Structure 1
């Protein structure tokens, strides 16, 4: 189909016998339309279980469907009985079918049932033509079959195109509404008790996720296609959890809330691997459980903080939970001693190489060889840098007390920054 015009340039030239055969159905339009309406959705597999099908109101079945059937019949008969061979259906001829297709999409009736119902109606018309055919009119019937198939190609194309467009529009509207509601819930502009949680599927709370996409790759370059990461991450989340996950994502990350309390499918890797594949190998993900809608805003704040302290504490990218960063989380809380602890690292504030060495060293649990491997350095170079840090700050990184102070200082400086 091309823009509502039939895919074929014209219908076959009809013989007078074919036109005369079709004309015998003109007085039976209402009867055939009623049969089409009855047959449209009767006994379709699975239809009885779909609210958009079995529960179609009587006025739809007896009114809209019958009127559409009559319109299609008259379109066919007008072309074959009174039309010219090269005549094409005007775009307005298909508007009725487009309108009904949009309504069925809005009602949630699956497209395959819409098309099967339509083709069943076509079968009724074909049987009506066979019933009025006389012996020796087989060739005329074959001509009408060619025309019927050509017109149905055009109508099916119009129905499918409109249905899918409407379905896409409705899905976009639902996603936009869900984003507005989720944003209102997370930023506190609407109290949790006033957010229609059922519209988000969050009446029982859910898993609150915080995601962070690194702005640069391992080589310090801005990755190509970064603007597509929100869409790709959304699709990966939907696939992983088997549902449409409400999310607020941009090219740096954001939040998502998985309805209910599902276990992470297949463990951490089953979620991390697809997200890293479509977003970045350096992706960080925090997971916090919210018991109910009222707990979601606090859970989102906690998830964001878990991400921050995981990065500030030098933990490698991956999936983080609060239990993974309990000490870092606790040490990063501010009180009257915070400024003095943060100031311990002031002597190396201008030495980013020393700061990142310290961060990586603490994040790797004081493993010098692991630190060297992550930074691409020789272990001796790491030792020299650690010695310089101790010299400038007065911290003893060989003692538990010194490493705890250094970790707290890193976390507090990061929070202040």
Structure 2
């Protein structure tokens, strides 16, 4: 095995001997021939290459090959870094990523090009030029390493940018669909979804530290998205934040009401987000039904929290009465007004909400709020004194719950 010059081993290009430079120079007249052969013959053996448009092969790829050959030959003459850069390789790598060429095909094309150039140098070498040939091969492989690094880095950066663009475009479409600013049928068609649909609402409580770093929040959203992809399929689209959000997916024939999907989502998400994950799924037969289904799923989770249901998957049947109590009619304003006396006492409303959520268990409520149980008792007594609602009675409890729901004091 030949000794590699120490300058090469440490990343710098060596000064080539006059013999090596002369050998490389004899290949300059073959640049166009080699470029045509690579673009139209050699690369045809690569998977997926034959499907590329003829103009891409004959113009872009051939031009990139010529640039690579001439760059190599220029650097043989000038090893001080003045012979050019890898900007064209980076530009073409970004284009190939945008067109969807697999990275392995792109990298194999560069490696194949290096092999063809090596063959040309070998064929051109005469007896007694073995040392010069070894110098050029060392030089060629070191340059190839740098080019492959530049190409792979640019391709992956472009692919990540394209993915982020598509994800954000999908998010904007889902946002417009749910808020009614975009037409449902056309939007879902652009999202690539066909009905019937399953619309899921997720509630994922944040940690105790509300000022958690943004990096941690983004990581959590990515982890939630990974679970959604596994459970609902990558064709599902979502509008997520660190607190949860909505997902729209095709309805599965073996899970028409989404019960199994919600159970699996709840199980998987609890492992990464903690035990207080909640979700609900509502079906939508047509695109026009999707926004209403999203609102219903959100309300099911909100009501389940208010009436003390434990975290996990929720169904409409689980909260049928409470859901009915939360609907607005001519009596709604009067019921909501029952909490006016404590409107400026958020700690009393929060204690009531937690007490209902924890099924009137004062110790569980105290642990949740990080209070002494006697403090919980005192707050509830003060609430009853100010509002006249005795939540220890079925009637007072139902009125307090309905008032909370109608005032929106139970966030989803």
TM tier, smaller: 0.7 to 0.9
2:303 aligns with 309
Q: Does 1:236 align with 2:224?
A: yes
Q: Is 1:184 matched up with 2:176?
A: yes
Q: Is the 8 A contact 2:199 2:283 kept in 1?
A: yes
**1:60 equivalent in alignment to 2:59:** no
How far did 1:124 drift? 1.1
Residues 172-202 of structure 1 show CA distances to partners (whole Å, capped at 9, x for unaligned) of: 322232222222211111221332x233232
What does residue 3 of structure 1 align with?
none
Normalised by the size of structure 2, how large is the TM-score? 0.80
Structure 2 counterpart of 1:141? 133
Give the C-alpha shift of residue 144 in structure 1.
0.6
Structure 2: 5+ residue stretches without partners: 1-7, 253-257
Secondary structure of the structure 2 residue equivalent to 1:294: helix
Residues 260 and 129 of structure 1: is their aligned pair in 2 closer, same or farther, counting only changes over 3 Å? farther
Instruction: Count the aligned residue pairs.
Output: 395
Tell me how far apart the structure 2 counterparts of residues 358 and 288 of structure 1 sit (CA, whole Å): 29
Question: Is contact 2:174-2:237 (8 Å) kept?
Answer: yes
Distance 1:344-1:15 versus aligned 2 partners, 3 A rule: closer
* Runs of at least 5 residues in structure 1 that lack an aligned partner in the other structure: 1-5
Pair 85,382 (structure 1): closer, same or farther in 2 beyond 3 Å: closer
1:98 pairs with 2:90:
yes
Do residues 209 (structure 1) and 209 (structure 2) align? no
SS state at 1:307 partner:
helix
Structure 2 vs 1, CA of residues 156 and 88 (structure 1 numbering), >3 Å: closer, same or farther?
farther
The question of whether the paired residues in 1 share the 8 Å contact of 2:279 and 2:313 is answered with: yes
Task: Report the more deviating stretch, 6-15 or 146-155.
Answer: 6-15
Residues 96, 257 of structure 1: alpha-carbon distance in 2 compared, 3 angstrom cutoff: same
CA contact (8 A) 1:213 1:252 kept: yes
Deviation at 1:104, TM superposition (A): 0.8
Match of 2:30 among 28, 31, 36: 28
Decide which moves more: 389-398 or 29-38.
389-398
Matched, 1:264 2:261: yes
Distance 1:269 1:77, change over 3 A: same
Partner Cα distance (1:68, 1:355) in 2: 69
Aligned to 1:289: 283
Whole-angstrom distance in 2 between the partners of 1:336 and 1:306 = 22
Q: Normalization by structure 1: what TM-score?
A: 0.79
SS at match of 2:201: strand
Per-residue CA deviations over 1:131-152 (Å, capped at 9, x if unaligned) read 2222332211110101111221
Specify the SS of the correspondent of 1:143: helix
1:71 corresponds to 2:67: yes
Aligned residue runs from structure 1 range 356-371, under 5 A: 356-367=350-361, 370-371=364-365
CA distance in structure 2 between the partners assigned to 1:9 and 1:357 by the alignment: 66
1:17-63 per-residue CA deviation (whole Å, 9 max, x = no partner) reads 2223223323322332233224654444xx24xxxx44101222233
Residue 404 of structure 2 aligns with which residue? 410
Matched residue, 1:123: 115
Residue 51 of structure 2 aligns to a residue whose secondary structure is coil
Name the CA distance, whole Å, in 2 between partners of 1:183 and 1:8: 53
| Distance in 1, Cα, partners of 2:153 & 2:102 | 14
Tell whether the 8 Å contact from 2:262 to 2:313 is kept in structure 1 after alignment: no
Judge conservation of contact 1:331–1:408 (CA < 8 Å) in 2. yes
Q: Name the SS for the 2:200 alignment partner.
A: strand
Whether the aligned pair in 2 keeps the contact of 1:348 and 1:392 (CA below 8 Å) is yes
Using the TM superposition, give the Cα deviation of residue 384 of structure 1 relative to its aligned residue in structure 2, in angstroms: 7.0
Q: For the residues of structure 2 that align with 1:416 and 1:9, how far apart are their CA atoms?
A: 62
Q: State whether residues 348 and 354 of structure 1, in contact with CA within 8 Å, keep that contact through their aligned partners in structure 2.
A: yes
Q: Secondary structure at the match of 1:264?
A: helix
Corresponding residue number in structure 2 for 1:159? 151
Q: Distance in 2 between matches of 1:87 and 1:352?
A: 68
**Deviating more after overlay: 268-277 vs 100-109:** 268-277
